[in-house]
Amino acid sequence: MSTEHPYREIVFNGLWQNNPGLVQLLGLCPLMAVTTNLVNGLGLGIATLMTLVTTNLLISLLRPFIREEIRIPAFVLIIASTVTAIELLIHAYFSELYAVLGIFIPLIVTNCIIIGRAEAYAAKNPPKYAWLDGLMMGIGFALVLVSLGAIRELLAHGTLFSQAHLMFGEAARGLSLHLSDDFKGLLLAALPPGAFISLGFLVAGKNYIDQRRAARAQQQALLKPVSDPL
């Protein structure tokens, strides 16, 4: 890291600048398939987040012992064992959520975000940065999963947090929001095309905010009086 504030940069990169869901567009398969409602998105987001922190930290720690030529198989082994452990944890404590997320938890192994961060970041940086990178990339991805899940759930069923009890226990049933009984529901939003269209709008929204910020920064740079007029 060459900048003055590596931690701040890692946080900004993961959450916004280089967001895995909106900018790198990695892990689209689980992103599209699971986010039919908010709780599913949150569940997969947290599972991916835990995986990312663990694998990034482990790979960064083991990096002196892994020969360059065999690093990819070694990464895959580490990732696969981490995911297996997390899968067993979810199965043990949230078995209903496990039934909903199903195949997508073991499939985190193949999620490009995990191996991407391992190769691009953890293999080149010390553990003190690597775990934070995993955490921030994980949160960034989870935020996209949650917002996509919320948009699609609202459009398709007119509800929010509809299966919250799967994750937070019976007490969370009251969390469920139901808009109105008269709501017809845009079924398309729950289907794969709806996922693609909603993600497209999210990416467009991010780019729009970035452009506005860039334009404003440029305007301010022009307006600023020259402080050192020679």
Partner 1 sequence: MIFGIKTSPYMHAPQSVGQVMAQVIYALLPGTLALLWFFGWGVVTNLLLSLGFAVLLEALMLKLRERPLLPFLTDYSAVVTGWLLAVALPPYSPWWLILIALMFAMVIGKHLYGGLGYNPFNPAMVGYAAVLVSFPIEMTSWPAPALTSIGALSLNETIQQVFLGGLSTWDGLTQATSLDTIKTHLRLGETVEQISQGAAFGWIGGQAWEWVSVAWLAGGLWLIYRKIISWHIPVALMAALAGMALVFWLINPDHYSSPLFHLMTGASILGAFFIATDPVSASTTPLGKLLYAGGIGCFTYIIRVWGSYPDAIAFAVLIMNMAVPLLDTYTQPRVYGTKGRFGS
Residues that bind partner 1 (CB under 8 A): 184-189, 191, 193, 197
17 and 23 in contact (C-beta within 8 Å)?
yes
Q: Which is nearer to partner 1, 1 or 214 (CB)?
A: 214
Q: How far is the CB of 34 from partner 1 (least distance, A)?
A: 20
Q: Which residue from 53, 103, 102, 99 is spatially nearest to 79, judged by alpha carbons? A: 53
Q: Which is nearer to partner 1, 88 or 191 (CB)?
A: 191
Q: Which is nearer to partner 1, 77 or 204 (CB)?
A: 204
Q: Which residue from 25, 3, 24, 43 is spatially nearest to 167, judged by alpha carbons? A: 43
Q: How far is the CB of 230 from partner 1 (least distance, A)?
A: 40
Pairwise CA distance, residues 104 & 101, whole Å: 6
Q: Which is nearer to partner 1, 80 or 155 (CB)?
A: 155
Q: How far is the CB of 7 from partner 1 (least distance, A)?
A: 38
Q: How far is the CB of 200 from partner 1 (least distance, A)?
A: 8
Helix (H, G, I), strand (E, B) or coil at 25: coil
Q: How far is the CB of 192 from partner 1 (least distance, A)?
A: 11
Q: Which is nearer to partner 1, 175 or 186 (CB)?
A: 186
